Amino acid sequence: MAYRDAVRYIEAMTPAFVSAYGDECLRTRQIIRAALPTLGGLSGTVEWRSDARDTYERRLTEAIDLAEGLYDGFDKAGMAVLDYADAQSRAKGRVAQGIAAEESLGSLIASIAATQSVAVRLSDPLRQWHDLRSTTGATDFLIELGQRDEIEKIRVQADALWETATSAYADAVRLETQAREDALPRLRAAYEMLPDFLANSDLSSEIVDRTPGLDDTGDGKYHIGPPSVPSLSFDNDFPYDPTVTPTPGDYASWNEWRAKLKAGQLLRPDLDDATAAYAHYMGGSGTDLWVDYEEAYAEDSGIRRAVDSEIASARQEAERILRETGQTAFQMTGAPTSAGELAGAYPASTENWQKTLGDHAVYGNSEVVVDGDQVTMRIRVNAEDMYNFNAGAADIATGAADDENGRFSTLGWAREFRTYGELERTVTWTLGDPESVTISRDSDTERNAPGEDRADGRDSG
């Protein structure tokens, strides 16, 4: 059994796009396949009378192995992606069937639901009928007393629609989940078949060893290289479990927290970013959320300390790389560090940003130019986190247990998601003179994130 909240991420899927990737993999496979006979036919057709003969034969064999590895990898990847796209289509079909049944149920019970409590009226049709078809307490009994005859008249039809919708949603989640769990190891296996012809060679090692700044084995936080996104992993204390059956207390808790969200949106404009993030969690799509990190920097002293610390670290690393390599124009990328470590304490000092970001990963990408003893560094400070709840933890401001909201994720009603944000600064200074540092922000920096147009009229940065 599942509700529509659990399948919104499936609604957002576009199987045609996924299929296009699979088709492209198979098209690439066919191109490689067409070249294999030509490569295989070259062996022994060229007569070498020099010391390079053995090298030629070895390189030709390596090229054939490379092509065959690419063929196998693209073949397996393409089939895995196409199978997943097919499962997405079937899952979306079940979702559409569930939506149709839920909408019919909503029309059937609309007049009855309109007489119930605010919590019931604000619920979706499936939860409305679940509340109406059984009495869970004295208050519930009194509210439904006047509608009991009407409920009995439609019970059989409403139960059938409810069962059709919840079963369809559960089937959709099962189809997508199983297909994804099947596709991931197949894609990993396909990836492992692709030859590592760039880095796994003596020549590559020689290039790295002889090029200043490319050796990444040092202790520096930053290394020379173009902007890159680190691979971050996050714990999930409340994974979705389709075998868990919600209890009456779960429905009551869900309605209570939905009411708290609406109250916060109406009465606490200072929590605009926090309520936007929480609404996204309860929406259940699991899609990434872009947050206004410029606003966070302007409003929260803890986050401001973390960002300023990252910028100072990048400036020191730029001078180190300059000393070690002699390069006067380079890009550099930093390793991620927790905002709490950078700030020297829990990074978010305001309730709004405690709830929106809390402690999060911070890393920088920079472009550095040195002219004489003058340094100009343009840095993008990136923030990344996973919005979820931690078992046994509690909200800093209210003391509410994380377990309450984490339960919604286990039930599939809500879903964790990644949050992203960034800000850019231009830093200039004189080498060896920390007092000369100036930091500026571009006045035309584009911002487009939830919460930046503040309802309370405060300047968001």
Q: Which of 145-149, 263-267, 348-352 has the lowest mean pLDDT?
A: 145-149
The span from the CA of 326 to the CA of 459, in Å, is 43
Here the tokens at position 111 are: 């007049």
Amino acid 448: pLDDT: 46
Amino acid 147: pLDDT: 67
* DSSP output for 50-115: STTHHHHHHHHHHHHHHHHHHHHHHHHHHHHHHHHHHHHHHHHHHHHHHHHHHHHHHHHHHHHHTT
In the chain, % of residues over pLDDT 70: 81
What's the mean pLDDT when you consider all of the chain? 84
User: Is 50 exceeded by the pLDDT of residue 214?
Assistant: no
Judge whether 361 and 310 are in contact, CB under 8 Å. Answer: no
Phi, psi (rounded to 5 degrees) for 301: -65, -35
Instruction: Find, among 425, 457, 430, 435, the residue nearest to 373 by Cα.
Output: 430
Q: How many residues does the chain have?
A: 461
User: Is 70 exceeded by the pLDDT of residue 212?
Assistant: no
Judge whether 388 and 373 are in contact, CB under 8 Å. Answer: no
Instruction: Find, among 205, 257, 261, the residue nearest to 403 by Cα.
Output: 257
Q: Which of 41-55, 247-261, 267-281, 369-383 has the lowest mean pLDDT?
A: 41-55
First to last CA, the chain: 45
The span from the CA of 269 to the CA of 455, in Å, is 6
pLDDT band at 117 (very low <50, low <70, confident <90, very high): confident
Instruction: Find, among 218, 217, 224, 220, the residue nearest to 365 by Cα.
Output: 224
* Residue at 306: amino acid letter: A
The span from the CA of 239 to the CA of 311, in Å, is 36
CA atoms within 13 A on the CB side of 127: 24
The span from the CA of 223 to the CA of 28, in Å, is 34
User: Is 70 exceeded by the pLDDT of residue 366?
Assistant: yes
* Average pLDDT of the residues in 146-154: 81
Instruction: Answer with the residue of higher pLDDT: 447 or 27.
Output: 27
The span from the CA of 83 to the CA of 423, in Å, is 40
Model confidence over 229-281: pLDDT tens digits? 888 989 999 999 989 999 999 999 999 999 999 999 999 999 999 999 999 99
Here the tokens at position 275 are: 């309520």
* Average pLDDT of the residues in 124-151: 70
Model confidence over 398-456: pLDDT tens digits? 999 999 999 999 999 999 999 999 999 999 999 989 899 999 987 544 444 444 444 33
The span from the CA of 23 to the CA of 78, in Å, is 6
Amino acid 102: pLDDT: 94
Instruction: Answer with the residue of higher pLDDT: 90 or 147.
Output: 90
pLDDT band at 144 (very low <50, low <70, confident <90, very high): low
Domain residue ranges in the chain:
4-197, 222-440
User: Is 60 exceeded by the pLDDT of residue 216?
Assistant: no
| Radius of gyration, CA atoms only, the chain | 29
pLDDT band at 46 (very low <50, low <70, confident <90, very high): low
User: Is 50 exceeded by the pLDDT of residue 124?
Assistant: yes
Amino acid 138: pLDDT: 45
Amino acid 446: pLDDT: 44
Here the tokens at position 160 are: 């059938």
